[in-house]
A and B are shown apart, each in its own frame.
Chain A
Amino acid sequence: MNERDLDNLFSKKLNEEGQYANLDSNWEKVKAKLAMAKNTDTTDAPVLPLPIPQSKDRKWLVPSLLAALMLLLASNGWLLWRLQPLLINQPQTNPSTIHLTDTIFETKVIYRIDTIYQRIVSMPTLGKIHDTESHFKSTPSVGAQKNNVDEVPSPVKAEKLPSTNPSSPNNSINKGIESIKKQEKKENIPIIHNEDNHSGITTDSTNAIHIRQESNATYDSLITTTPTDTLKWAKVPYDSLELKPTEQSQQIIKANAKKKIIDYFALGLQAGGATTVFSDLDMRPSFWIGLGGEVHFKKRWSLSTSFDNAFYHYKTTVRDPLLHVPSDPPMTENYKLKYIEGETSSLQIGLGLSYSLLNQTRFTPFVSMNYINRWILPYQAEFEFLNLATGEERSFSVEENSYHHDTWYAVGAGLSAQLTPKLEARLKSEIIYDHNHGQGSLTQFLLRGGIFFKF
């Protein structure tokens, strides 16, 4: 007896009308239900079967979430792209850009005034060369000169003093120089120039004349008066006049840059397709979609992690370990397997290391290696058998309820393109190798792209 006979017999007998007692209680139940239905305004109740409950059909959920995520990233990117020119064209009123350098400039000016002041206070002594000893003791200039020799005057004090001598410094200097020259000519006094510029005072044993060398003294004041403030300003990275990084400042920036290990973080969305190579499987390309995170460090290196969901559809007669095909239904010898068809979904978590071949260019090629963990989620496979004797086909639906774990290695290369300062596009191709099974059929070629947002 074949199945058609069975079907025909059942169909024939079950289509016959049976005998069922129609009790009044049945009608009462219908009446009650009808009344209830009318009260609840269900006059348009469906005659056809109800639609499949949404909770049982959640295929829309993942695409909707991904679409929303992509929309969010796209709008963010667009906003940045739109704001970028505005930020560049904005007048530079940001205090951090400027204008510490202006302050520095003014501080230097104050210090120069101090220097000039010392000249000013020194000049009157030049007119009384022969009386230097007593002059040092009595005049205010002595104090200033002593400061040059013995102690370091503070710039603040120097700033206060100029009020004691209102005369023009330049005029006083010129007058002083002229009077010295006149004195030299008149008295023919030998002037011994001090080799040691720090003292500013020399003694001639023959003529016993003490001469202060103002030029040296002035110079000394710059050298010897080295308050800690002054040293600090000397290391300021920007020239206040040029508003450009000086050589020194560049060195400082480079030194700082060397200290910085992590360059930036990036988060992004990536999607792509993979297909097997060297395979005898009739496997359609699988689709990958997921999120990626990266840490870029030392300019050229980056560590990455990815969370992907991959969808495979296969139709095969080969029980390739890649597929984790459920075990065959028990069949007699008459039946031959035609094919197994299944759709799997897997969760994949990857860890990777990349190296950029170029640095600070808009398009950056890179190489990478990845370690991928894959979990195949439970799925259903269809087994199609053929009865060799009768030519009859049988179909079985078999559920694979367990999770399967694989580990893969991947090496690849790609290109990274800087779209905006904050947005990067990436295209990468990888060869994935399943080291657990070591079969050629398990090697896959993956091509995928992504958009990454830099933090």
Chain B
Amino acid sequence: MYENELTEIINGCRVNNQKSQHELFALFYNYAMSIAHRYAGTLHEAEEIVNDSFVKVFINIERFEYRWTFKSWLRKIIINTAIDAFRAKQIRPKTSDLENFFDLGFEIDIIESLTREEMLRHVALLPPAYRTVFNMFVVDEYSHEEIAEILGISIGSSKSNLSKARQKLKKLIQSDITERNRI
């Protein structure tokens, strides 16, 4: 793919050609799911995010400019849709369950040995607020200032959520390892 082929499909989408829309959907479905799955707790939620994102894409395709790459535009829309979904069921994180995470430590090899699916499973177990900040900061490379502005929280909260997300992940991985060793 491909510039020309993609341009043709996008042009088709601009005139509401359903075939083109279906082609675009099929072409980027995997990519879109890969992003959405990180933000969503479940696969079903990820599908919802992807579906909503594509609806936005088709409705706003007029606003897409060719000097952008379609992938990055789509990525932005998916992340924003995921954030909207997060906001819709946002619950303030409680800090009462803070534990002494800092004593947990393990080798880098253990993390490296994890597959993408295993990582996704751990990320999905994070509370939504932690998961969102973790994805935005670590994977999608937003700054804390941007995260604070987009999510409507303070910079301190963004930092705090990220820190808690890391610690929680470490704990989840640790228990996973323990479980594996026991078996």
Contact = CB atoms under 8 A, between A and B. Distances in A.
A13 interface: yes
A254 interface: no
A18 B37 contact: yes
Contacts of B30: 17-20, 22
Given A6-B166, A33-B51, A47-B63, A13 B116 contact: yes
A332 B103 contact: yes
A399 B102 contact: no
B10 interface: no
A414 B166 CA distance: 56
Interface string B23-40: 001100111011001100
B60 interface: yes
Interface string B62-106: 010000000000001100100110010000101100111011011
A397 to B, nearest CB: 4
A341 interface: yes
Nearest to A29: B51
Nearest to A381: B156
Given A6-B166, A20-B30, A27-B22, A52 B54 contact: no
A21 to B, nearest CB: 9
Contacts of B115: 13
Contacts of A13: 114-116, 119
A298 interface: no
A33 B56 CA distance: 10
Interface residues of B, number: 68
A43 interface: yes
Nearest to A45: B59
Given A9-B112, A45-B56, A399 B94 contact: yes
Contacts of A27: 22, 25-26
B95 A22 contact: no
Interface centre among B26, B52, B55, B159 (most CB of A within 10 A): B55
Contact of A22 (B26, B38, B56, B106): B26
Contacts of B95: 329, 396-399
B139 A33 contact: no
A38 B21 CA distance: 14
Contacts of B161: 397
A16 interface: yes
B152 A10 contact: no
A380 to B, nearest CB: 7
Given A380-B157, A394-B163, A22 B29 contact: yes
Interface string A1-39: 101011101110111111110100011011101100110
B14 interface: no
Contact of B77 (A9, A47, A53, A395): A47
A122 to B, nearest CB: 104
Interface in B124-166: 134-135, 137-139, 141, 150, 152, 154, 156-157, 159-161, 163, 166
B166 A382 contact: no
A5 B112 CA distance: 10
Contacts of B114: 9, 13
B15 interface: no
B169 to A, nearest CB: 7
A382 B160 contact: yes
A17 B34 contact: yes
Interface residues of A, number: 54
A331 B102 contact: yes
B83 to A, nearest CB: 5
Nearest to B117: A18
A397 B160 contact: yes
Given A1-B105, A27-B26, A14 B59 contact: no
Contact of A45 (B60, B87, B152): B60
A166 interface: no
A42 B105 contact: no
Max chain A Cβ within 10 angstroms of own Cβ: one of B47, B77, B102, B106: B102
A335 interface: yes
Among A46, A49, A53, A57, the most chain B Cβ lie within 10 Å of the Cβ of: A49
Contacts of A335: 102
Interface string A412-450: 000000000000000000000000000000000000000
A52 B31 contact: no
Given A396-B163, A397-B160, A7 B138 contact: yes
Given A1-B105, A10-B119, A11-B139, A33 B18 contact: no
A53 B87 CA distance: 9
A235 interface: no
B108 interface: yes
Contact of A20 (B33, B87, B105, B156): B33
B72 to A, nearest CB: 13
A33 B119 contact: no
21 contacts: A7-B137, A10-B119, A11-B139, A17-B30, A18-B33, A20-B30, A26-B47, A26-B50, A29-B51, A30-B21, A30-B25, A30-B55, A34-B21, A38-B59, A52-B87, A52-B152, A330-B99, A341-B156, A382-B157, A394-B163, A395-B159
Given A42-B59, A380-B154, 7 more contacts: A1-B108, A14-B123, A18-B117, A19-B30, A27-B25, A34-B55, A382-B156
Interface of B: 18, 21-22, 25-26, 29-31, 33-34, 37-38, 47, 50-52, 54-56, 58-60, 63, 76-77, 80, 83-84, 87, 92, 94-95, 98-100, 102-103, 105-108, 111-112, 114-117, 119-120, 123, 134-135, 137-139, 141, 150, 152, 154, 156-157, 159-161, 163, 166, 169-170
Interface of A: 1, 3, 5-7, 9-11, 13-20, 22, 26-27, 29-31, 33-34, 37-38, 42-50, 52-53, 56-57, 329-332, 334-335, 341, 380, 382, 394-399
